[in-house]
Structure 1
Amino acid sequence: MLLRLALAVSLVLAALTPASAATPWWEPVARPAPDSQINVTGEPFKGTDGQGRVRGFVDAHNHLMTNEGFGGRLICGAAFSEKGVADALKDCPEHHPAGLGAIFEAIVTGDFDGHDPVGWPTFKDWPSYTTVSHQQNYYAWLERAWRGGQRVLVQDLTSNATLCIIHPFKDRSCDEMASVRLQAQRTYELQAFIDKMFGGPGKGWFRIVTSAEQARDVVTQGKLAVVLGIETSELFGCRTFLDIPLCNKDSIDRGLDEMYALGVRSAFLCHKFDNALCGVRFDSGTQGGVINAGQFLRTGQWWQTEVCKGPQQDNPIGTVGPNALIPASAVAPQYDPAKRCNVRGLTSLGEYAVQGMMKRHMMIEIDHMSVKAAGRTLELAAQKNYPGIVSSHSWMDAQWTEKVYQLGGFVAGYENDPGTYVAQAAAYEPLRRKYDVAIGFGSDYNGVGSHPAPQTGVTYPFRSYPDGPLVDRQRTGERVWDINVDGGAHVGLLPDWVEKVRQLGGDQLVQDMLGGAESYLRTWSSTQRWRS
């Protein structure tokens, strides 16, 4: 019976997506038409070297499904759509006319003059390296990054209840964990969408993995291993108000068990606002002032500072000026520049959550933790010889780097301006040599962050690494993107960014980056093997 059923299923799949002997394994047997071009020519590398090591770039921090978060209307456009590219890459109706309704983008970027809101097929003004409200992770652009050498992607499920509440447009609940569940579901749906193009279940290049062994097998096949993570401000509903925690140990255990069952294997305990688990590393500048106002609205308390106890410091806090988010009677404190550290560290509930993540062999993200919280997390990990510590996008004090490496953890730099990335990589090269580790990057696409400005000197076509495929300018619809003109406008331009990094940092740095997949999987493997 099972044999007949399997035969029937295989015949149906063959009828839906007939395979062609002439179709290379890395090309789909049927792609929606019309669609974006990939503009990468040649076979992606696969297999291992003589020592059993895999190769590939690691994007340790990305947000494929942010359009489903923040109430569902903050990011316009989707990573994919069964209806095709014209549906996926369309703008929010409130952005019309002339982009003047993009209130959030105007506040964050300071661009109050609007923009052309049309996506497919013209894409006159978006996505761009400055956008914070348009899709930058369309699946075909991600496919280009994979074809250009990326082999591990951490897909962080994200949202923020406060931003959702104050954003005037939304079509769903602001509950962060409800959004996390939906984004996980959409990520699995994206995997099925790509599988269908490549001939059926398991055939596509986008593979969600739940163990280091699965990931290594996927990378060995030349495909992209996708790890689910979480980056929210109220993990498991662990909000605090007037210093009263609104969660308990039972809710933490239930949340960890549920997320693990969903396939999540890494998480941040806090992000942007202090919560019942830990204090955060502050934001600076205008954005820092806005986030501190949000902190006050959500927690009933402003950020509080103290003199740092060691060489590590939190970021200076941005000034909270006149702000429509807060009542006129609420006056933000004046901060002493000599007091750079958040008074709030890892709470007792936070320590329980760290121990719960260790028990489940999950990777603990320490970016966005305050110096006190990160320091205590590292102490707990050191006491247990726990290797599963990750800094994925340059949001910890860099002086913790050696401590992370000593434990067996993994560090990735933010996808900064190429010159900044190269300088940071050079500064920590001696530590990488000492601990025999490689380096990754965190692109943070659709994470309301900045991306590299236009570059100079990248000549098309180029090899994405010395023996890699040929990469040309990326075309979607009527628009052609060129990193010399457009900077890091979307995830598909990561190979172009790596080429500029290579020009500035040399071939050896790119080889270190290609070792990122192996280093990340070593950390994950050690985390799985760990015994208390």
Structure 2
Amino acid sequence: MTGARRLSRITTACLVSAALIGGAVLLPSHPGVRAGSLLTAYDASKAAAVGPDLAGVPHRHDDPATKNALSRGGEVTAATVDPTSRQEAAASAAYVARERALPDPRLTTVPVMQRRRRVPQDRYAMAGGCYTLAAPNGRYVARTAGAGLATATRRRDAEPFTFRATDLGTYLLFGTASDFVGSTGTGAPATLAAAPSPATEWTTRETRRGFVLTVGQGRHLSLTRGTVTVSARAVPFRLTRTPGCTAYPESQVNVSGRPHAGVTPYQEVRGYVDAHTHGQAWEFLGGRVHCGKPWDAYGPAYALTDCFDHTITGGKGAALEAFLSNEPTHDPVGWPTFRDWPAPNSLTHEGTYYKWMERSWRAGQRVFVNLLVENNKLCEIYPLKRNSCDDMDSLRLQAKDMYELQDYVDAQYGGPGKGWYRIVTSPWQARKVVNAGKLAVVMGIETSLPFGCTYKRLPLLGDQPACTTAQIDAGLDEMRALGVRQMELVNKFDNALSGIAGDNGATGAVVDAANFLETGSYWDMRHCEPADGESADRAQFAAPDITAGQQDALFGAVGQLFGLAGVGALPLYGPPAHCNTRGLTTLGAHLVDRLMAKHMLIDPDHMSVKARNSLLSQLEAGRYPGVLSSHSWSTPDAYPRIYELGGFVAPYAGDSTGFVEKWRRHLGWADPRYYFGFGYGADMNGLGAQGNPRGPQAADPVTYPFTGFNGVTVDRQRAGQRVYDINVDGVAQYGQYADWIEDIAQVAGPEGPALEDDMMRGAEAYLQTWERAEGIAPDPCRNPELRMGVAKFEKAARPGTPVRTLMRRVGQPWQRLGSRFTYCAGPAAQEVRMSVRISARGRVLAVRRR
């Protein structure tokens, strides 16, 4: 621990010592949370972290303790846990409690989508609506007795159509008999088809007399001598809202109440943050490993289907799914029954369908980090594929998918920019999106060979990297142009940038074999005795199998099933603990420099302890705060250093019980120089097992419906014929994170309100770390050494200054409530609170001393 950090903690400890004497004084944030109970919980979480390995027993992938471990990236091997003392941890927890007592920002609500008018206001506004179609001659499109189309003179005889958007301004016209208006060719009568197809997709164009509907090239819905036809002649139709439509099949959200939003675009935000999920993993490993996808133009019946090799065998030939879930067979039917999937241990099935993500957003999530992911060698091994196995090709494809999903969500909610899924590329943009009540989506990278940076170990020549600094620079520029703002340097293989933490058990043996195929070398894991007793890489044991409840097991399972089980003679590793001797390379250090120069968020997860320590030392030397651990694949020695830099930590979500213990432990690492909030890394979609249910017999189950953040009502979610209950199903799919938040509050008991507070502050903490990565200094109230004189502050904050410029001059505000920012100026002994009033356009209006 640095001297400055220790001095800061000692000072803080002195300030709160009276509250800690005897461990019985109430902390100021929430009734029922006592200093003594926090210390007891902290001690218990430390004991839980080291307990399983004190006797030298390895973690197992099928042990829930692995999924819920404080560190997924290392093994716990001795009694000493981390460099933080009990008193320092208590002082940090007390600081967080005081922070919770600060005023919350004022919030408002916004509609999910714009109000639907009787006549659509533009070509995007009819999405999801029910309308009749009338031609200029006053005749309506109607249904005939023979299930065809005709015309009618009376509006009450007109067929009501649901306009289901397939793209921006393009729709399926869904009839009351669950059929689709279609075309068989120019000059032919319009048809009613049983299933959607390109021949049933109608693109709209607005004219002064109504909307022209076009299918294909130059074919328009028309009336020819009283018959509904498809013609080269464009006829504008007047659309009028009406009742009586048949609802298009879709997963429900089951959250009522309007989403919360800020009262200004630049104020402090509230919302949950998922810092690590793979929303486009349906494309990775060749595109045939993952079953289903997050959206389809034709809806859930087409998006939520099983893989071909699962379906053709009736669920009995799904080798990878059976291997991972420990279930020999499964029902391959997805929508609408969902009998066997999605489920917490089903790692090959889609979990982030867009309506399920909508549920989480509606319940309070406001930041979603989507990591582009690939592993070329395991992609090559898997026998079925439709996509390139090249890491960078896959990342490009997944980035393209993210923008297509954004367009699709926009299409469902009223047009460009109207949807709730908004890809952001700066903290300023993200803050504006969140305060508009939408979900800020950050693009990141987690791949084994970024920019082609593998290496080959050659006899006599040693390691030969396959990339250069120029390639790294060009690749990073390309990814940044695509929108990437968060990055891990490694995933499963050692590469030319860094060593990795590795996996253990059978997964480790298989991925190690794949590492050999890729690089010509196995992991150089050697016995080590870390100073803190627990900060080592994954111990290399020969576990007998891979079973249910795993974390990150998919890669190892692919290798074990499809060609790596008997590759060569694996090395004989010594007794644990194990540390990878491969650290941060010169090329890796160059990439870190470039990431800092481009103000990107750097995630040290999956790196070897040696590499991660070098990376953190490099960030400390550069005083760079843009660092976060997104899913518990760092080790306990790193977490205090991340907080000290001004970074952010989001532990792996896992089971609700395990997550609460992680939260308690992380409270003891909070740094009083920075705003504190807490997030989670779901790691959903093929890589990480999700939270298991606690069971309906739990003493404190989630009771439905429950009241979510800002008064929304959350009921059990229905998807097709399936109804999900967190008590029974666990986190079966992404929509259940709304319920999981309630579950962790139940598990926390009297500390539940405090935990919920910290989770709702998570989005703000993430954005403040990102702002600091952009070069904004931390706030001078929490950092007295950064304060400027009052007169100098008033000059820097003169009227007309834009918010971003203000922050570049004077740092982050201590509070940003509505249209007022609060700063501190002057020496600590004569502190002056400065109130800066901001205009609706985001410029300084006035500065006054409080």
TM-score of the superposed pair, with normalisation by structure 1: 0.92
Cα distance per residue 1:41-83 (max 9 Å; x no partner): 1111110699931000000001010001110111111100112
Matched, 1:166 2:381: yes
Match of 2:668 among 430, 436, 447: 430
**Partner secondary structure for residue 440 of structure 2:** strand
Match of 1:14 among 99, 108, 122: 122
1:122 and 1:154 mapped to 2: Cα distance? 30
Contact 1:287 1:318 in 2 (8 A): no
Matched, 1:454 2:693: yes
2:753 and 2:349 mapped to 1: Cα distance? 33
Matched, 1:110 2:110: no
User: Superposed, which structure 2 residues align to 1:94-105 within 5 Å?
Assistant: 94-96=309-311, 97-105=313-321
Please tell me the residue identity of whatever aligns with 1:131. Answer: S
1:30 and 1:56 mapped to 2: Cα distance? 30
Contact 2:537 2:608 in 1 (8 A): yes
Q: What's 2:795 paired with?
A: none
Q: What's 2:622 paired with?
A: 384
Q: What's 1:267 paired with?
A: 487
Cα distance per residue 1:74-121 (max 9 Å; x no partner): 11111001121111111111112232232222233333x110011111
The 1:513–1:329 alpha-carbon spacing in structure 2 relative to 1, beyond 3 Å, is closer
Contact 2:409 2:420 in 1 (8 A): yes
Q: What's 1:77 paired with?
A: 292
Please tell me the residue identity of whatever aligns with 2:125. Answer: T
**Partner secondary structure for residue 633 of structure 2:** coil
Q: Which of structures 1 and 2 has the larger relative contact order (alpha carbons within 8 angstroms, sep 6+)? A: 1
C-alpha deviation, 1:502, in angstroms: 0.3
The 1:433–1:406 alpha-carbon spacing in structure 2 relative to 1, beyond 3 Å, is closer
Please tell me the residue identity of whatever aligns with 2:440. Answer: A
Contact 1:464 1:498 in 2 (8 A): no
Match of 1:281 among 470, 479, 501: 501
1:121 and 1:228 mapped to 2: Cα distance? 31
2:670 and 2:758 mapped to 1: Cα distance? 9
**Partner secondary structure for residue 768 of structure 2:** helix
Matched, 1:489 2:732: yes
**Partner secondary structure for residue 14 of structure 1:** coil
The 1:94–1:13 alpha-carbon spacing in structure 2 relative to 1, beyond 3 Å, is farther
Q: What's 1:442 paired with?
A: 681
Please tell me the residue identity of whatever aligns with 1:472. Answer: D
Contact 2:349 2:686 in 1 (8 A): no
C-alpha deviation, 1:447, in angstroms: 3.8
Identity of aligned residues (%): 45
Matched, 1:518 2:764: yes
Matched, 1:528 2:774: yes
User: Superposed, which structure 2 residues align to 1:45-56 within 5 Å?
Assistant: 45-47=260-262, 52-56=267-271
Q: What's 2:217 paired with?
A: none
Matched, 1:348 2:586: yes
Contact 2:324 2:346 in 1 (8 A): no
Q: What's 2:366 paired with?
A: 151
C-alpha deviation, 1:183, in angstroms: 0.4
Which stretch has the larger CA shift, 164-173 or 437-446? 164-173
C-alpha deviation, 1:285, in angstroms: 2.5
Q: What's 2:597 paired with?
A: 359
Contact 1:13 1:200 in 2 (8 A): no
Q: What's 2:73 paired with?
A: none
**Partner secondary structure for residue 529 of structure 1:** coil
**Partner secondary structure for residue 364 of structure 1:** strand
Which stretch has the larger CA shift, 61-70 or 328-337? 328-337
Matched, 1:223 2:438: yes
Matched, 1:507 2:748: no
Contact 1:152 1:227 in 2 (8 A): yes
Q: What's 1:469 paired with?
A: 712
C-alpha deviation, 1:418, in angstroms: 0.7
C-alpha deviation, 1:449, in angstroms: 1.2
1:521 and 1:115 mapped to 2: Cα distance? 42
Please tell me the residue identity of whatever aligns with 1:109. Answer: S
The 1:352–1:484 alpha-carbon spacing in structure 2 relative to 1, beyond 3 Å, is same
CA RMSD for the aligned pairs?
A: 2.4
1:318 and 1:203 mapped to 2: Cα distance? 52
Give the number of the structure whose residues are more often strand, by fraction.
2
1:241 and 1:175 mapped to 2: Cα distance? 17
Contact 1:206 1:226 in 2 (8 A): yes
Please tell me the residue identity of whatever aligns with 1:387. Answer: P
The 1:63–1:409 alpha-carbon spacing in structure 2 relative to 1, beyond 3 Å, is same
2:663 and 2:518 mapped to 1: Cα distance? 37
2:592 and 2:365 mapped to 1: Cα distance? 30
**Partner secondary structure for residue 691 of structure 2:** coil
The 1:222–1:100 alpha-carbon spacing in structure 2 relative to 1, beyond 3 Å, is same
1:259 and 1:197 mapped to 2: Cα distance? 28
Give the number of the structure whose residues are more often helix, by fraction.
1
The 1:56–1:99 alpha-carbon spacing in structure 2 relative to 1, beyond 3 Å, is same
2:653 and 2:772 mapped to 1: Cα distance? 26
TM-score of the superposed pair, with normalisation by structure 2: 0.58
Please tell me the residue identity of whatever aligns with 1:460. Answer: Y
Contact 2:505 2:543 in 1 (8 A): no
Please tell me the residue identity of whatever aligns with 2:702. Answer: V
1:254 and 1:399 mapped to 2: Cα distance? 33
2:163 and 2:615 mapped to 1: Cα distance? 47
C-alpha deviation, 1:34, in angstroms: 1.1
Contact 1:305 1:343 in 2 (8 A): yes
Larger radius of gyration: 2
**Partner secondary structure for residue 475 of structure 1:** strand
The 1:130–1:364 alpha-carbon spacing in structure 2 relative to 1, beyond 3 Å, is same
